[in-house]
Amino acid sequence: MIYAFILVPAAFVILMSFHPAVIPTFPPPSVTFKWYIELARDIRLVKAVSNSLIVGISATILAGIIGTMTSIGLVRYRFRGRETLSALVIAPMVFPEIILGASLLTFMLRILALPLSRYSYLYMIVGHTVFILPYVIMNVHARVYGLDRSLEEAAMNLGANPVQTFGQVTLPLILPSILSGMLLAFAMSLDDYTASQFWVMPQTETIPVRIFSALRTELPPTINALATLLILTTLLLFYLQVMVSRRVSLRTGR
Amino acid sequence: MDPDPPNRQSPLDKGSGEYRVGILGKTAKLGPVLLVGLGVSYVSVFLFIPIIFTAVLSLEGASYQHIFTTELYRNILLRSLRVAVEVSVLSLVLGYPVAYYLAKLTSMRRETVVVLLMFPLFVSFLIRTYSWFYVIGSRGLVNYILLTLGLIESPIKFLFTEGAVVLGLVNWSLPLMILPIYSAVEKMDNNLIEMSKNLGANEISTFRQVTFPLSLPGVASGVMLVFILSFGAYITPAILGGPEQAMIANLISALYLVMFDWPLGTAMSVILAVITLAIVYLYNKIIGLNRLLEAMG
């Protein structure tokens, strides 16, 4: 019902990516694949894809590590100010990204004196990590919270030290959640424009940046083709995420 | 953020609640500091410190005065508020029934619903937004239908109006509104509803006096989220709106990247940040951010 409302427009992009003419009209007169071929030849777009991957994967890995550690610390230990800190870490999710983009730019440029032209990738990775971190944390947190301690205690009782316990008992148990969070985080990074616009240079343009600037000028059908591919990719990510989450449930029977 | 995990007392429990079982077996003080410290310091350094720095910087010029006295900027602020309110109300009105209905559905397990709602978030928002061109644009679906049916002579301009922006934002906000409300309703104790019926109340009264009030925390979460994100929205007004529909985020972007007027840009950012924080603070006071975490995950 409402669901259709949310998704139908997206279906249109996919539709239009097959449209032959340059300016799409509805309904499309015929179907063609030629824009996809054009896509592969467009150097700027190919570069955008690789940039998105570079930034996305780096940020996701970084967020995965930091997020997991933070999550575990927040769940397992009690200390003063825990609530405040957990709110703090989730904050990037509620905060308008525009502020993140603008202030990080200001900060890194003025205080850290890192010229954008040379450090654009750094800006991007650092910045993306900040706003995708909450996604990892939320996923891992739920899992760690409900984890049955007796397994770890059993390991300790059998003589394993804390490091071994973590590596061989805890980590495998929470790994699906970490992956699940990372997949979501990656999807978020892939789609970001609002914050990224402050940190990109022409060479470090990512997919959303490229799409957005295309919207400003013309709307070449190749963009639709790119968009469709992006949708398919994220659908794949989503599918993976669901599969991973299922494994979690099956393992613990919850 | 949560009471302690539902684990019984472990023999390893030192009594103060500090566990020795963990990644670092050393004094329990070191462990959390290292772990949590990492995450927190990362966010702090790259989010909060920059914001504070930006705020300080903004005091350099006489920007604030300028902002409030210039009609253009005032309009943008008001428009942003207005749009945010409209979006919040609309998504609440549309979302609440959906959330309620979903919660009452006994066949679906909680996880499935969450997954279902999360699904649209995976698909690129940018793409979802501009695909509206094909639906409400002058050559899009809606106009096509209206023209073919002979109801209109020439295409109606739906795009680049405030309505389009609201539409786009509601589209985005619905899952965000539905999820917390669904959580709240689903977690409600059914006994209360039973009791209400036993005492003689009909469906409507039960809803009005039992269900709805109990769902309010969820409603508040949803409204807060939607309001904040709509208020500070960039992409939707940028794509679906024209220059007339510019909102705060668009202004900030333009000031920074087009006009290179950083003093003014930082001042606007601060205003946005302050308003956002005020709302979050209010919410935290009344409801508590922990609720949000529960609702989402």
Report pLDDT for A28.
56
Kindly report the average pLDDT of chain B as a whole number. Answer: 75
The whole-angstrom separation of Cα B246 and Cα B203 is 44
Q: A242 at the B interface (CB within 8 A)?
A: yes
Kindly report the average pLDDT of chain A as a whole number. Answer: 77
List the structure tokens of A81: 């100010």
Which of A75-79, B126-130, B283-287 shows the lowest per-residue confidence on average (mean pLDDT)?
A75-79
Domains and CATH numbers, chain B: 1-58 (no CATH), 63-296 (1.10.3720.10)
The whole-angstrom separation of Cα A202 and Cα A49 is 13
Give the closest residue to A103 by CA, choosing from A207, A191, A199: A199
Q: What is the pLDDT of residues B82-141, one digit of tens each?
A: 999 999 999 898 888 878 877 776 666 666 666 666 677 777 788 878 777 777 777 777
Answer whether B219's CB lies under 8 Å from B178's CB: no
| CATH 3.40.50.2300 matches A30-252 | no
Q: CA–CA distance from B11 to each of A150, A161, B62 (Å)? A: 11, 16, 63
Q: Which residue in B has a C-alpha nearest to residue A167's C-alpha?
A: B23
Answer whether B19's CB lies under 8 Å from A77's CB: yes
List the structure tokens of A204: 């470090």
Q: Calculate how close chain B gets to A93, using CA atoms only, in Å.
A: 9
How many other CB atoms are there within 10 angstroms of residue B59's CB atom?
Answer: 13
Domain residue limits, chain A: 30-252
Give the closest residue to A12 by CA, choosing from B267, B140, B110, B121: B140
Kindly provide the ipTM of the predicted complex, given to two decimals.
0.78
If one compares B171 and A18, the residue with the highest pLDDT of the two is B171
Global confidence as pTM = 0.80
Write out A107-156 in H/E/C secondary structure: HHHHCCCCCHHHHHHHHHHHHHHHHHHHHHHHHHHHHHHCCCHHHHHHHH
Report pLDDT for A21.
43
Reply yes or no on whether the pLDDT at A231 is more than 70: yes
**Contact check, Cβ <8 Å, B50/A104:** yes
Scanning B185-244 for CB atoms below 8 A from A yields 224-225, 228-229, 231-235, 238-239
Q: B46 at the A interface (CB within 8 A)?
A: yes
Q: A151 at the B interface (CB within 8 A)?
A: no
**Contact check, Cβ <8 Å, B23/A163:** yes
Q: Which residue in A has a C-alpha nearest to residue B226's C-alpha?
A: A94
Answer whether B128's CB lies under 8 Å from B209's CB: no
- From A12, A234, A237, residue closest to B135, measured CB to CB: A12
The whole-angstrom separation of Cα B237 and Cα B76 is 12
How many other CB atoms are there within 10 angstroms of residue B225's CB atom?
Answer: 25
Reply yes or no on whether the pLDDT at A179 is more than 70: yes
pLDDT, average across residues A79-105 = 78
Q: Calculate how close chain A gets to B199, using CA atoms only, in Å.
A: 35
DSSP B45: I
The whole-angstrom separation of Cα B7 and Cα A152 is 12
